[in-house]
Structure 1
Amino acid sequence: MASLDSTSWSVPGLLLALLLVFYSDLPHVRGLEVSTGKVSSIEAMNGSTVLLPCTYSSCIGIHKLYFSWHYNNNGSKEKLCDGIVPSEGAEAKVKVKHPRIEFVGATKGHNISVLLWNITFEDEGEYICFARNPKEKYRNHSASYTLYVVDQMREVDNTLTVIIVSVLGGVIGLVIIVMVIKALVVQFLLKDDEKNKECLVNASGNDNTENGLTGAKADNKGTPKA
């Protein structure tokens, strides 16, 4: 059996190995991320106003966070607005570069969303939210949001939903009716059973009374006179 050579591992080397094992078991620290929400697209009517949502997050914290919104115009990016968040809790310094864009974000909620007013069919396409954090060695991240512009909103066919609701309502109503009828029948049977019991008790009492009176008369007749 091979023996462990104590001179092959120095104290600093052992400490380094232990630290590597320890940090390998730690969960990965999440850096800067931006998100446009659970829904990545929206359908809006021509002439309406839409919200382009975006939030950022960082477990490490931020310092002079840079962010921007771009419109992907057939491969070329058109900058809509950009800004800097100096630090956690500080208000963003924003420069709007599009006449129909309004910044509606709030630093308190890590919100860097914008409004696009009076949309037209030319506004349809991909909108990109970008952020860069110098505190994380200028780590950057982006997320996109797609806008579809229509003349009128599509009507949702609710026929199947109405049928399902009607069937369920009918079934529930039938169950309730059956339960009510069952309760009435049980109540009627209980009352009838109570009447039968009262009748049997009364009949038994009458029989005992009649038998007692007959016996008394027979005894009186058989008694000799003094």
Structure 2
Amino acid sequence: MELHQGRRSFQHKCARSGDTLYAGLVITLLIGVWYAQALEVSTGKVPFVEVLNGSSVLLPCTYTSCIGIKNLFFNWHFRSNGTLHKLCEALIPAEGIEPKMHIDHNRVEFVGSSKRSNISILLHNVTFEDQGEYICFARNEKEKYRNHSAVFTLYVVEELKVVDNTLTVVIVSVLGGAIGLIVLIMVIKAVVVAVLSKVQEKNKDCLVSSTGNDNTENGLPASKADTKATPKA
């Protein structure tokens, strides 16, 4: 009796353990799906740019969300020597509705559009003091106001570096010359083969013609046709 009850207790514990494991897997899957649909903020494949002193530069930032947006809040900050300086901020009520920008920097211009999921800004008349990290921040109400951000680094230089393409030009020239030489060799080979083929055909014709003439001169019939006797008078 006690053995039977022990087995039932063990089976009950295993069932509860299996239910707990199943519930954990379901929760993990749901969290994974939620994160896959979450808002993403990106400053592009190249997270930095070099810009000439005194020019204007685009600070790119885009967002994506599979579940859509509602009251999407975003802003830009400039971080230099550990200090954050707010550049601008705005709220996008819903998809396709353009934000009303609040600009905190006199050289900043908003050039994005909610229709393109773009919240980029333009920084005019760049100075060396503008060098540093620019943070694009966004928060979506549909995600319980979870925070998302991406960093874009700006380097200001006196003059842009001239890229030395000498090695590239040399490599391309060598490859082009090699390819051209291979093509030339193939063309010469084709011409030689054609000429040799014609010469062989001509020699063969001459050999056949010469053999026929020799047989005639030696008194041998030049063809297989029977020679008829001259009729008597």
TM-score (norm 1): 0.84
Output the CA distance in 2 between the equivalents of 1:16 and 1:105. Answer: 48
Does 1:211 pair with 2:220? yes
2:59 paired residue among 52, 55, 61: 52
* 1:185, distance to aligned residue in structure 2 (A): 0.9
SS of aligned partner of 1:167: helix
C-alpha contact 1:32 1:140 (8 A) present in aligned 2 = no
Choose which of 168, 191, 194 in structure 1 pairs with 2:201: 194
Q: 2:70 matched to which residue of 1?
A: 63
Q: List alignment gaps of at least 5 residues for structure 2.
A: none
Query: 2: distance between equivalents of 1:151 and 1:139?
Result: 40
Note the C-alpha offset of 1:56.
1.2
Identity over aligned residues, as a percent?
54
- Paired amino acid for 2:181: L
After superposition, the C-alpha distances for 1:134-154 in whole angstroms (9 at most, x for unaligned) are 221110111111111111110
Taking the TM superposition and a 5 Å limit, the aligned residue runs for 1:95-106 are: 95-106=102-113
Name the structure 1 match of 2:155.
Answer: 148
Cα deviation, residue 191, structure 1: 0.8
User: How far 1:14 sits from its partner (Å)?
Assistant: 8.1
| Separation in structure 1 between the aligned mates of residue 116 and residue 19 of structure 2, nearest angstrom | 42
Question: 1:83 corresponds to which letter in structure 2?
Answer: A
1:132 and 2:136 equivalent?
A: no
Tell me the SS of whatever aligns to 1:8. helix
For 1:52 and 1:208, locate their aligned partners in 2 and report how far apart those are by CA, in whole Å: 97
Write the letter of the residue equivalent to 2:105: H
Which whole-Å CA distance do the structure 1 matches of 2:24 and 2:85 have between them? 45
One-letter code aligned to 1:110: S
Measure, in 1, the Cα distance between the counterparts of 2:182 and 2:21. Answer: 69
Letter in 2 for 1:8: H
Distance 1:43 1:212, change over 3 A: same
CA distance in 1, matches of 2:214, 2:28: 96
Q: Tell me if the contact between 1:84 and 1:93 (Cα under 8 Å) persists in the aligned partners.
A: yes
* Alpha-carbon distance in 1 for matches of 2:116, 2:11: 56
Which residue does 1:8 correspond to in 2? Answer: 12
Aligned residues: 222
One of 88, 93, 97 as aligned partner of 1:81:
88
TM-score norm. by structure 2 comes to: 0.82
Residue in structure 2 matched with residue 117 of structure 1 by the alignment = 124
- For structure 1, which runs of at least 5 residues remain unmatched after alignment? none
Q: Are the structure 2 counterparts of residues 97 and 160 from structure 1 closer, same or farther at C-alpha, using a change threshold of 3 Å? A: same
CA-atom RMSD in angstroms: 3.2
Paired with 1:94 and 1:166, the residues of 2 have a C-alpha distance of 53
